[in-house]
Structure 1
Amino acid sequence: MRNRPLLTRIFPPTAAHPSLPNPSPASGDLRDPVPVIALHGTLDSPGAWAPLADGLRARGRRVYVPAYGDRGTAALVDSVAEVEAYINGVCTETNSDTVDIVAHSQGGLLAFLLFTRLANHECERFSFRRVISVSGSVGGVNLTEISRILGWWNGAPARWLMGQALADQIAVAAGQYELPAANTAPHLRRRKAATPDWINVISHHDNLVIPWSDTAQSFLPDSRAVLLETELEGRSVAHWKQQTDPEVIELITRLLA
C-alpha cells in the first residue's frame, strides 16, 4: 500500500458502473458493429465513462471500458501494452478488426502511442476508425511551475504523488520522452492503421494538458479540433468533469455518429 502513489490512497476510484448491457447482434439492436473503447485518464477509473457507455449502448453501440495501469498511474509503455492486449480481446470477442476510441486526458496520449505502434507492425491486427481525444495529453501535461518541480530528480516527486504516468507526461511535454520519430510518419500514412479520423476536443480553459504536438501532427496531418466552448455556447467544463458532463457526452455521441 505504501508504495502506491499518494493520491491513489487519498481519492477512491469512481464507483459508477454502466447499467445497460452491450447490444447483441442476435437481438437485432446492434446498430454499428464497430466497438467503442473508452479510455480514462490519470488517477481515474472506468466508472467515469459510465454515463457515456449507457448512452451509446442505448443507441446500439457496444462499449468497452478497460481499467488499466493501476488507475492510470503506471508507466506509459506498460499502459499502452495493456490497452493493446485489451483491444485485441475485444476484437476477438466482437469479430471486428476495427475500433472507435474515446479517450480523456492520458487516454488520448495512450491512443496516439498505440496508433503509431500499430502502424509500425508488419501485420496490423486491428485499426482505429475514429479517435475522439477529449482534452488529451498527447503533448504531455502543461509545464507550470508546479509540474516542473514534480519533474525534478527524473520525476521522483511526480511518481510519489501520481505514479510514473505523471512523470512520463511531464517528460513528454519537456521533450525528454522517447516518442516515435516524426520522419517515420510519411510512409505510414499509406497504411490503414495510420488514417483514423482523429478529432481533438479541446478547451481554452483547460490548462492541465497539452492536447496536441508537432510529432502528432506529422503523423496525423488531417486531424481536426473541436472547441468545447464553441460547441457548448460559451460554457467551459473543468478537466475532471468532462467525462460525466451531459453536454460533453452529447457532443461525443454526435462526433461518433
Structure 2
Amino acid sequence: MLILGVYHKRKLHSKLGPALASPALQANHSFNWRSKHARLNPLHPARPRMRDLASIPSANTERHPMKLFYCPFACSLADHIALEEAGIDFERERVDLKSKMTATGRNYNELTSKGYVPALELDNGEILTENVAILDWIASHYPKLGVRGELGRTRLLETLAYISTELHRSLRPLWHSASAQEMEDARSAIETRLGYLSESLAGDYLFGDDVTVADCYLFVMLLWAERFGLEAPRPLLAFRERMRARPAVKVALAVEGLS
C-alpha cells in the first residue's frame, strides 16, 4: 500500500513537472496537494481549509420569540388566551384573512398555504397550525394548562377534538350565508353539543378547578354562541363569565379589541 502511494505521488510529479514550482500555482489556493493526495490515498484524508471551515454553520443559531398569527375574534383567540395563561414570551401579528397579508406586510400564504388562522411560529422557525395541534403543544410544554394522570393528555386531546369537530364545525354555518334550514339544523346541533359539554364540567372548569387549554377553546366557542344569540346551559354561562374575568383572558381580549 505504501509503495503504491509513493508510485502515484511520483507519477503525479512527473506529469506536473516544473509547474509545481510555479509561484502563480503556489499562490492559487484552489490547488491543494493534500486534497489530491487524499483522492489517491484515502488513508490520509485532507484537512479542511480555513475557507471550508468558515462555511460550516454555527450551532449557536439565533432564536426569536414565538409569534402568533391571529385574526380578531377568530378561533385563534383560543391560542392567544392559552399563550397568555402560560405566561409565554411571544409576539402577535394580525392577519387580514381577505387580503392574506399580515400587519407587517408579509404574505400569509407564504407562511402557511392553508390561508387561515391560527399559525404559531416557534422560536426555532417551525410553523404550527390548527387549534388542536397548537393547544396540545402549549399544554405539553406548559403542563399547568394540561391534565394530570396517565390518561391526562389523551383525555385533553379527546375534549379538544370534540370541541373542534363537533362544536366549532356546528357554529360555522352561522358565520356564512346559510339557508334557513341549515341555520335551524346548526342551532339544534349546537344546543346538543353545549349540553354535553355542560355535563362534562368537573368543577369550575372542564377538568376541575384548574384551567386547561380546552377551557380556552370552549370559552371562544361560547363567545361565538353569545354573538348569535344562542342560549347556553346555566353551568356554561357561569363558566363563560369565570373565564372572562381571568387576567390573561382580559389581556387577550383587549389586544384583539374585544373588551
Fold match by TM threshold 0.5: no
Determine which structure has the larger helix proportion and give its number.
2
Instruction: Kindly indicate whether structure 1 or structure 2 has the higher relative contact order, using CA contacts under 8 Å at least 6 residues apart.
Output: 1
Determine which structure has the larger strand proportion and give its number.
1
Q: What TM-score, normalized to structure 1?
A: 0.29
Q: What TM-score, normalized to structure 2?
A: 0.29
Higher Rg of the two aligned structures? 2
